[in-house]
Amino acid sequence: MRIFRHFNDLPVEARGAAAAIGNFDGMHLGHRAVIGEAGRIAHSANLPWAVLTFEPHPRRLFQPDAPPFRLTPLPAKAREIAAQGVDHLVVINFDLEFSKRTAHSFVEDVLVKGLGVRHVVCGYDFVFGHRRQGDGALLLALGRTLGFDFTSVHAVGDANGGGTYSATRLREALTVGDLAAVARILGRTFEIEGEVVAGEKRGRALGFPTANIRLGEYHRPATGIYAVRASLDDGATWQDGVAYLGTRPTFGGGEVLIETHLFDFTGDVYGRTLRVGLVERVRPDQTFTDMDALKAQMAEDRRRAEQVLASKPAKTRETIRR
């Protein structure tokens, strides 16, 4: 998949696509349905298959002081889109100037002149343009005069009656640590990805060395202990582990980190990219009054995480490359 950070002067092979449009933060099953419909159309009409998305997330521009809320930062979102088989990903810089573009200008200048779209696909609730004045009805009407077809994808819901797949439901499930619901909405394990940073090495002193990453713009899941599967660098190999997500109240608190102990792993991880998949929440966070009690609980947490992971299908049983 080729990624473009602009919509002007695209190469000829990227123009004339069936294009799915949206923020796609989370890349849940509803998003996959929209992108998949664009792919079905592209294949049947022998067109390029494209996705158009926006970075940073518009909410960050309009609500700069909002708590962290991202579910899939761009690298993770691009990886999930590429996994569907998309040919081209167009990422538009969503800044103040772009936010003032009218709905008609977005269609005429971005979709038609920029991408030369042949077919536009979006979710049933997609809105666009200054003051959110554009919607599916406008895309349908303008498509008839500007020469492209339009498809709106209906809401996709949980077959078990859990409701429509949405980023809101996903954040709510993460907030309470309901990873079974998270997996149903995503169709996969939720991951937190980041560069491994140096910590205070307390885990190592207690016999449980950890690889620590900051949560940054990620939405905060419930604090506590998680059974996890993690991968370094390329995602080709995965290893079981147990992770603590929280502020470390036993040691006076601080910024939110996820500290991952990889089972039976030795090696240098600092500065490398770590992907941590949250499989199941083992227990909530708690404060300990002495190190012996903490160490005993960490051993119990590992035992329980091992039990959880032994009952869950693994992506691979290979260990991470040393």
Whole-number Å distance between alpha carbons of 281 and 228 = 9
**pTM (two decimals):** 0.91
Which strand ranges, in their side-by-side order, compose the sheet holding 88-93? 2-4, 88-93, 49-55, 18-21, 119-123, 149-153
Helix (H) or strand (E) holding 242: strand 239-246
What's at 271, amino acid-wise?
G
pLDDT of amino acid 254: 74
With a CB cutoff of 8 Å and minimum separation 6, the contacts of 126 are 21, 22, 135, 136, 152
Q: For residues 167 and 186, what is the distance between their CA atoms, to the nearest angstrom? A: 10
The tens digit of pLDDT for each residue in 146-202 reads 999 999 999 998 877 678 999 999 999 999 999 999 999 999 999 999 999 987 666
Q: Are 65 and 19 in contact (CB under 8 A)?
A: no
**223 close to 278: Cβ distance less than 8 angstroms:** no
Determine the Cα–Cα distance for residues 299 and 79; give it in Å rounded to an integer.
35
Report d(CA 87, CA 39) in Å as an integer.
9
Domain ranges of the chain: 2-153, 189-310
Q: What is the DSSP string of 110-132?
A: IIIIIS--SEEEEETT--BSGGG
For residue 105, what is the DSSP state? H
pLDDT tens across 4-31, in order? 999 999 999 999 999 999 999 999 999 9
Q: How far apart are CA 304 and CA 281, in angstroms?
A: 10
Q: pLDDT tens across 68-94, in order?
A: 999 999 999 999 999 999 999 999 999
Q: Is the peptide bond before 249 cis (omega within 30 degrees of 0)?
A: no
**C-alpha angle 116-89-18 in degrees, rounded to nearest 5:** 40
Closest CA to 246 of 209, 221, 279: 221
What CATH number has the domain spanning 189-310? 2.40.30.30
Neighbours of 203 (CB within 10 A): 18
Q: Which of 120, 102, 99 is nearest to 111 (CA)?
A: 120
Q: pLDDT above 90 covers what percent of the chain?
A: 78
User: 10-48: b or e for each residue (b if 16 or more CB lie within 10 Å)?
Assistant: beeebbbbbbbbbbbbbbbbbbbbbbbbbbebbeeeebb
Tell me how far CA of residue 96 lies from CA of 21, 59, 128, 134, 224, in angstroms: 19, 12, 14, 17, 38
Within the chain, residue ranges assigned H as helices are 29-45, 58-62, 74-83, 96-99, 103-105, 136-146, 167-175, 179-186, 202-205, 291-310
| Rounded-to-integer distance, Cα 308 and Cα 283, Å | 12
Specify the CATH number of the domain 2-153: 3.40.50.620
Q: How confident is the model at residue 322 (pLDDT cuts 50, 70, 90)?
A: very low
* Nearest C-alpha neighbor of 52 from the set 123, 141, 101: 123
pLDDT computed for residue 160 by the predictor: 72
* % of the chain beyond a pLDDT of 70: 93
